[in-house]
Amino acid sequence: MSADRIDGPTPFHLRAIPGGARLELDGLRELIVQDVLTALLDPTDTTLWDRLHEVAELTPETRLPEGRLPYEELVSDLAERCSYRVPIYGRERLLELSRRLREIAAPKRLPQQQGRRVS
């Protein structure tokens, strides 16, 4: 396991950035794409597929009365079907995540400003 990778069924990376940390959820992104494609390509219910094609043919004049485009409603319906949790199993992985977060959150010394005097 690399220093910034947290393994699991949905592995991710944790990286320090100025002022905090960044979670890179590549595994979750892949699950979401799979979920969207599964929903769109469901042979037993082509409703989402049909709506996708309707959205592709939209013009500015085809807005709904409340101002929301069918695109936004399709996004919302697809999002309801998507994965959003990243399970982390096992004590070792949880401890590694905790260790990395503490390491990132630890106070760090700022480099001294050279050639400047504090008044």
**Model confidence pLDDT, tens digit, residues 43-97:** 999 999 999 998 888 776 766 555 567 888 899 999 999 999 888 888 998 999 9
Q: Cα separation of 87 and 9, whole Å?
A: 7
Q: Cα separation of 6 and 94, whole Å?
A: 9
Binned at pLDDT 50, 70 and 90, residue 34 comes out as: very high
The structure's pTM equals 0.70
Yes or no: say if 114 and 91 are a contact pair by the CB < 8 Å rule: no
